[in-house]
Amino acid sequence: FKNAIDLGCNNGYGFKKYGNPFVDSHIVLVDFASGCIREAKRLFKKKSNIDYINLDLVKPWPKLGRFELVCLCQVIQHMPNLEDAETVFEKASKLLARDGRMLFSHYGTQKKAPVEGEFSNGLFYRRCSLDRLEGLIHANRLEIVRFKEVGKDYNFILKNND
């Protein structure tokens, strides 16, 4: 990949494990928590190809450009409500370059949607069924290239066909 963005990068360790494919790539790491951004900067202090952005994904985004890889892993379940989660997913989808890929994972998705309005600890994932996620993916004109269920996690690799 020529460039990549990790939305909700936390401390950067998740992105670091991918390692070698990104040696010559321009990387953008984004997180809401300034402490996580500081930790990521320490982790990658010898890397000059990485930019860091402290950003609340629910608020308006600056112009970020287009990316061959967009990572949105374990993020949308932290959104305060379903509408914000869907908006973040849609905005992340628009960052994809033509034929770009999105690495998307979601924790705790239930196969059956619970009663509308039901929350557990205020987290979005308790309200989102796998069917709803797939509908969101297709509504944003993405193609599921690979899907894997690992424990309670749902992992997608999505392709932009726009």
At 114 the pLDDT is 41
Q: Which amino acid belongs to residue 21? A: P
Taking the CA atoms of 34, 40, 45 and 46 in sequence, report the sign of the dihedral they define: negative
At 122 the pLDDT is 40
Q: If residue 135 lies in a helix (H) or strand (E), which one and from where to where? A: helix 130-139
**Mean local confidence (pLDDT), 38-46:** 92
Q: Which residue has the higher pLDDT, 161 or 10?
A: 10
What letters, b where the CB count within 10 A reaches 16 and e where it falls short, cover 124-136?
bbbbbebebbeeb
User: What does the pLDDT look like over 112-142, one tens digit per residue?
Assistant: 434 344 433 344 444 466 677 777 888 888 8
At 151 the pLDDT is 63
At 86 the pLDDT is 85
* CB distance 77 to 107 below 8 Å: yes
At 25 the pLDDT is 87
At 19 the pLDDT is 62
Helix spans in 18-106 (H):
34-43, 82-93
User: What does the pLDDT look like over 98-117, one tens digit per residue?
Assistant: 889 998 887 654 444 343 44
**Mean local confidence (pLDDT), 2-8:** 94
Which residue's entry shows tokens 């998307």? Answer: 104
Nearest Cα to Cα of residue 139 among 118, 109, 162:
162
Q: Which pair of structure tokens corresponds to residue 147?
A: 């899907």
Q: Which residue has the higher pLDDT, 44 or 110?
A: 44
Q: Which residues are registered as beta bridge partners of 5?
A: 28, 70
pLDDT of residue 50 exceeding 80, the answer is yes
* Cα angle value 128/77/148 (rounded, 5°): 70
Average per-residue pLDDT for the chain? 80
Please report which confidence band the pLDDT of residue 8 belongs to, taking 50, 70 and 90 as the band edges. very high
At 123 the pLDDT is 42
Nearest Cα to Cα of residue 149 among 131, 130, 136, 122:
130
